Amino acid sequence: MHNIYLDHAAATPLHPEVFDVMVPFMKEHYGNPSSLHSYGRSAKIALDSSRDSIASHLNCSPNEIIFTSGGTESVNLAIMGIIAASKQKPVHVITTQIEHRAVLSTCQQLEDLGHAVTYLPIDKTGLVSIEDLNKAIKPETVLISINYGNNEVGTLQPIEEIGGLAREKGIYFHVDAVQTLGKIMINLLDLPVDLMSFSGHKINGPKGIGLLYVNKKVHILPNIYGGNQERKRRGGTENLAAIVGFSKAIELSVHNVNKNQKILNDLRSLLIEELSKELGHEGFVINGHPIKRLPHILNVSFQQMNKETLLMNFDIEGVAASSGSACTSGSIKDSHVLDAMDISPELKKGAIRFSLGINNTKKEMITAAKKIGTIVNRLRSK
């Protein structure tokens, strides 16, 4: 039985070209970039070259890039780094109710430390209101942190408008772009963004590597101390093999962003079409914004179904999907994203996220839809 992987929003397979560039830095080139001998100098050249390449593809300065252990650390560094560097105490932060747990848990920590956080509501499609945001701003507001593309339903937020408002009010703006990189063109020179988080394993790169873009005009304090790496903003020996791989993954994803966007949109449309054939147009409900969305995420509610039962049956038939973020996959609680969207209890109970990748095929979409349809129809008939 051919397994069909539809959980690319959780993790993507390593691209062969990414693997190839990483291998030498796990075997021959093992020097520490901070060492002064030839091994260290060789490692430092590779580190600098990777940073330069990433900066060119994101259209920013190499000095504006901080390598981290992944998206979660990048988010933590952005939020806590801004707060730590703020001369004003306590401060006020604005985010939304549908952020990734990396943001929400960090904001909870801020509240525990005596700071104030406003969690903006969103509409039934997952969009935040600029009017609500404007009303939430206070004199002590120092940071707005909002996800570019939601990891559960795929809704894209109006980042340009939000950033414009933040600039007008003199407030720092952080964007979690972990799901968006490689799916939509990102030009940091044009975007009104002060900090932006990225991760390697969402774009066919390695796990355990991410980065934080910090505009050169922005000052943050580190979360991790112990060395002068990353211009004293993140201590610790650099994960060179992963950084080299991340650089290659960004190069491939940015160069092919338009092509990949079309591939993913076509696959998503085909999956919807085939599910409609199997279950009828009334047999499922699509959650999220119909137009302002990421191309690779399809969140579907199957009425009269239980997501745990569905996922177990899908897995038995070789279809890998999820009920939401991989960071909360061990939980049987309803999605906080769907809660905030005011989705009915019945639809929340049967909500499944299918997330597609560039390795998926049209044949897989047809096969997956048939298996999903068979399972749903069987369970409904009981």
Q: pLDDT tens digits for 91-101?
A: 999 999 999 99
Non-local CB neighbours of 374 within 8 Å, separated by 6+ positions = 278, 317
**Percent above pLDDT 70 for the chain:** 97
Q: Which two tokens stand for residue 212?
A: 């934080």
Confidence class of residue 382 from pLDDT cuts 50, 70 and 90? confident
- pLDDT over 70 at 331, yes or no: no
Asked whether the bond before 90 is cis by omega within 30 degrees of 0, the reply is yes
Beta strands in the chain (DSSP E): 4-5, 65-68, 92-96, 116-120, 141-147, 172-176, 195-199, 210-214, 285-287, 297-301, 319-320, 351-355
Q: How far is CA 359 from CA 45, 73, 189, 251, 265, in A?
A: 32, 28, 31, 17, 13
pLDDT for res 325: 64
Q: Determine what percent of the chain falls in helix, strand and coil, rounding each to the nearest 5.
A: 45, 15, 40
pLDDT for res 2: 76
Confidence class of residue 328 from pLDDT cuts 50, 70 and 90? low
Q: Which two tokens stand for residue 72?
A: 């979660």
Instruction: Report how far residue 345's alpha carbon sits from residue 177's, in angstroms, rounded to the nearest whole number.
Output: 29
- Residue 243: closest CA among 38, 29, 100: 29
- pLDDT over 70 at 141, yes or no: yes
In order, the DSSP letters of 204-271 are: T--SS-EEEEE-TT-----SS-SS-HHHHTS-S---HHHHHHHHHHHHHHHHTHHHHHHHHHHHHHHH
Confidence class of residue 162 from pLDDT cuts 50, 70 and 90? very high
Average pLDDT, the chain: 96
pLDDT for res 197: 98
- pLDDT over 80 at 283, yes or no: yes
Q: How many other C-beta atoms are found inside a 10 Å radius of the C-beta of residue 284?
A: 24
Q: Which residue has the tokens 């129809």?
A: 377
Q: Which residue has the tokens 């338009």?
A: 258
Q: How many other C-beta atoms are found inside a 10 Å radius of the C-beta of residue 361?
A: 12
Confidence class of residue 88 from pLDDT cuts 50, 70 and 90? confident
- pLDDT over 70 at 326, yes or no: no
pLDDT for res 334: 77
Write the pLDDT tens digit of every residue in 100-116: 999 999 999 999 999 99
Confidence class of residue 381 from pLDDT cuts 50, 70 and 90? confident
Residue 151 gets the label, from left (phi > 0), alpha (psi -120 to 50) or beta, of alpha
- pLDDT over 60 at 290, yes or no: yes
pLDDT for res 90: 95
Residue 157 gets which letter from DSSP? P
> Which amino acid would we find at residue 296?
H
Confidence class of residue 218 from pLDDT cuts 50, 70 and 90? very high
Lowest mean pLDDT among 25-34, 61-70, 138-147, 206-215: 25-34
Question: pTM of the predicted model, to two decimals?
Answer: 0.95
The residues annotated as belonging to the active site are: 327
Helix and strand counts by DSSP (H, E) for the chain: 14, 12
| Terminal-residue alpha carbon distance, the chain | 26
- pLDDT over 90 at 121, yes or no: yes
pLDDT for res 330: 53
- pLDDT over 70 at 38, yes or no: yes
Check if the beta carbon of residue 245 is closer than 8 Å to that of residue 205: yes
- pLDDT over 70 at 1, yes or no: no
